[in-house]
Amino acid sequence: MKVLHVYRTHYPETQGGIEEHLRQLCRGLRACAVESRILTVSPHGPFVSEVEGTRVIAARRLIEWSSTGLSLDFSGKLSEQSQWADLVHYQFPWPMADVAQLLSRQRQPYIVSYQSDIVRQRVIEPFYRPLGHRFLAGARAIVASTPIYATSSPWLARHRDRLQIIPLGLDEVSVDPERVQYWRHEVGEDFFLFVGVLRYYKGLHLLIDAARQQQRRVLIVGQGPLDKELRAQAEGVPHIQFLGRVDDADKFALLALARAFVFPSHLRSEAYGLSLVEAAMMGKAMITSDMESGPGWINVDGETGLCVKSGDSAALLTAMQRLDRDHAAAQRMGQTARQRYRAVLRSDLMCRAYARLYAEVLA
């Protein structure tokens, strides 16, 4: 099978959760006899490149408006590349793709991975809604990443007849002992760890408020739009440390050394959380919010970690203090998280599920 994946950006140009998901998917589908290409937009386009064995075709992105990359030649690229494919796989939401699908000559069947509701762009959402629902109505199948998001999404309520659940998974990685030793020397161990892009919905202001009132070290790994603002908020608190962006080897070394993983996202824009899958893979207890979104499904309260009231820094502090005091509980929850990763969150399980869905659609 030949599958064209369509999304607004790609790895390694940007390195968010969906970019990593597409990276894992294209890599893992090869074992399922599926050949993949990625169609995207880029400020450096147009170009064609190879990324880890996957061809990437980029149209030129003129501007970025309301998290939507706009391109004049994208629909033409979609018409051209869809002729190569047996099936087209879109990541939703990206309004540029909806418009391009309508305007292009793409006639191949398509499926949609529904990654998130439109949350922040409340002003334009009513105007976009008819186009978005038309696009979803044309899909042969719609995939949500968790049951909790599928049942709580008002957008998906109209399309439940074609809805399937396939969790986002990750390949298991090995930890470099030299990097573990390096970071043990630099930052110690048994700290609380956050990894992710420093965005508005990550709830890091809540984590900083909670961290001020306890003594265990808190490490924040990542970069993003709120970097300066969050560093200013944490100024004068010596046990809160910003490490910036690190590579994968260093990230997993830090996970290996952590007491627990704290993921305080408090808004529905956080639809999943691949960083939580990484923490579960590494056998770490997790602290998340109880919103009706992916983190509350990946992290099972009382089993793989603790779920606290969304947006409540006091509840976050209480959870951190509990895992701080009870090392045995943190270890036990981490072991259960590891078992959950092995059972439902592996990349090979995800890729086989998508390969079966592609075959069903084409049949």
So what's the pLDDT on residue 14? 86
Cβ atoms of residues 62 and 72 within 8 Å: yes
The whole-number pLDDT of residue 191 equals 98
Are the beta carbons of 118 and 125 closer than 8 angstroms?
Answer: yes
Predicted pLDDT of residue 122 = 64
pLDDT value of position 69: 74
How far apart CA 173 and CA 282 sit, in angstroms, is 9
- The CATH class that applies to domain 2-169+346-362 reads alpha beta
pLDDT at residue 354, as a whole number:
98
Q: Which two tokens stand for residue 262?
A: 């704290």
CATH 3.40.50.2000 intervals, the chain: 2-169+346-362, 177-344
Q: Quote the percentage of the chain above a pLDDT of 90.
A: 85
Q: State how far the Cα of 42 lies from the Cα of 167, in Å rounded to an integer.
A: 28
- Residue 244: is it exposed, middle or buried by C-beta count within 10 angstroms (0-12/13-18/19+)? exposed
The predicted model scores a pTM of 0.93
Q: What is the DSSP letter of 9?
A: -
Q: What is the model's pLDDT at position 227?
A: 96
So what's the pLDDT on residue 123? 63
| 3-state SS record for 149-161 | HHHHCCCHHHHHH
* Cβ 269 vs Cβ 201: under 8 Å: yes
* Residues near 343 by beta carbon (within 8 Å), at least 6 away in sequence: none
> Domain 177-344 adopts which CATH fold?
Rossmann fold (3.40.50)
Q: What is the pLDDT along the chain (363 residues), one digit of tens a residue?
A: 999 999 999 999 888 889 999 999 999 999 999 999 999 999 998 999 999 999 999 999 988 776 677 788 999 999 999 999 999 999 998 888 999 998 887 889 999 999 988 776 666 777 888 999 999 999 999 999 999 999 999 999 999 999 999 999 999 999 999 999 999 999 999 999 999 999 999 999 999 999 999 999 999 999 999 999 999 999 999 999 999 999 999 999 999 999 999 999 998 889 999 999 999 999 999 999 998 889 999 999 999 999 999 999 999 999 999 999 999 999 999 999 999 999 999 999 999 999 999 999 999
